[in-house]
Amino acid sequence: MRVTFYGVRGSFPVAHPKVTQVGGNTSCVVVRAPGAPALIIDAGTGTRAAGRDLMREEFGDGVGEGAFLFSHTHWDHIQGFMFFEPFFRAGNRFTVCARGSHDRRLRQVFAGQAESPHFSYGLDAFKAAVDWRAIKEGESFSIGPWRVRTVRLNHPGVAIGYRVELGDKSFVYMTDTAPYDDQLLCEGFHERKPDSDPEVVARIRECGRALEEFVTGADVLLYDTFFTPEQYAVNPHWGHSTPDEGIRLARQGGVRRFYNYHHHPEAWDDVLEGRVKDYARRLGGSDLEVLLAREGEAVEL
């Protein structure tokens, strides 16, 4: 399988001379394998370029098949959705998988961002066939030959992590999430209860163990490294993590390659590159490779 990074930034897209090496578009990753439906994970602003590339293949002829897997529907993960060209070619077929939550139907969640006065055309403008599939964290399912597993992440409103497997290869996409240390961020509103509440402590431990099991044996882990440890200490309730926590997870699970992802909008190229080099140096001699997700780059598994 081939995983291509089309958007690697978190929160909002950035245009600045100091992001040209790593990229300024928000979350979007495409997973492809010959003969299998294209998997598009999250639809931040990077989705526009992803759609352009897919139009050069079978999607341009109106015979493409693909599925969107959404971590959650915060802005930085959906803003490119209406700019995805293959939606406007009749014959293409898509399934949109996202967490079904609250009392709103999944299609309505996506229709909302396209409604006037926010946008000039709605989902009815799509010429491709689109199925909407509400999923729940912990669920496993197949998309063509892909096996997909899901896990609950620690984020306001709850996000979903994905493990995509084909043959003996596996790729884990894990953003947006805080470490499961002393807080449990929940649906609708986040909670921060004291450590002394045994029920919450037990739930946090259980979720943390589930994440450790989830990444075990993965070839590649793409992980939310939005914060440095110092930044995390100030805003733990934002629901983002650090390279330290991701590397801990990767090492305990015997992961081969760890990618820093969902970069802070003000983390410039030299800062990110220096940071990743520093972590890689500290891990010198270990089996884990520490890398930086860069827009436009791909990893082969």
Helix (H, G, I), strand (E, B) or coil at 59: helix
- Figure out which of the listed residues 42, 85, 176, 245 binds Zn ion, where binding follows CB under 5 A: 176
Of residues 49-108, which lie at the interface with Zn ion (CB under 5 A)?
74, 76
Length of the chain (residues): 301
Residue 23: C-alpha distances to residues 9, 76, 115, 122, 279 (Å): 7, 14, 29, 29, 20
Strands (E) across 24-143 are located at: 28-32, 38-41, 65-69, 93-99, 129-135, 140-143
Classify burial at 83, counting beta carbons within 10 Å of its beta carbon; exposed 0-12, middle 13-18, buried 19 or more.
middle
Residue 48 binds Zn ion (CB under 5 A)? no
Counting residues that bind Zn ion (by CB under 5 A) gives: 4
User: Helices 269-282 & 243-252, crossing angle to 10 degrees?
Assistant: 40
> CA–CA separation, 21 vs 14, rounded Å?
12
Q: Which is nearer to Zn ion, 74 or 264 (CB)?
A: 74
| Stretch of 30-38, 142-150, 169-177, 181-189 lying at the interface with Zn ion (CB under 5 A) | 169-177
Considering only residues 227 to 246 of the shown chain, the ones binding Zn ion according to CB under 5 A are none
The single residue among 7, 10, 24, 86 that binds Zn ion, judged by CB under 5 A, is 10
Interaction of residue 190 with Zn ion, rule CB under 5 A: no
Measured from the CB of residue 181, what is the shortest distance to Zn ion in angstroms? Answer: 18
Q: Are 44 and 7 in contact (CB under 8 A)?
A: yes
When the beta carbons of 160 and 249 are compared against Zn ion, the nearer one is: 160
As measured in angstroms, the least distance from the Cβ of 25 to Zn ion is 12
Query: Minimum CB separation from Zn ion for residue 11, in Å?
Result: 6
As measured in angstroms, the least distance from the Cβ of 247 to Zn ion is 20
Q: How far is the CB of 175 from Zn ion (least distance, A)?
A: 6
The residue whose Cβ lies closest to Zn ion is: 74
Contact between 275 and Zn ion by CB under 5 A: the answer reads no
Separation between Cα atoms, residue 243 and residue 258, nearest integer Å:
9
Rounded Cα–Cα distance for residues 301 and 147 (Å): 15
Of 78 and 204, CB closest to Zn ion: 78
Q: Which is nearer to Zn ion, 74 or 257 (CB)?
A: 74
CA distance 262 to 241: 10
Is residue 46 at the binding interface for Zn ion, with CB under 5 A as the rule?
Answer: no
Report which secondary-structure segment, H or E, holds 148: strand 146-153
Q: Which is nearer to Zn ion, 10 or 246 (CB)?
A: 10
Binding site for Zn ion (CB under 5 A): 10, 74, 76, 176
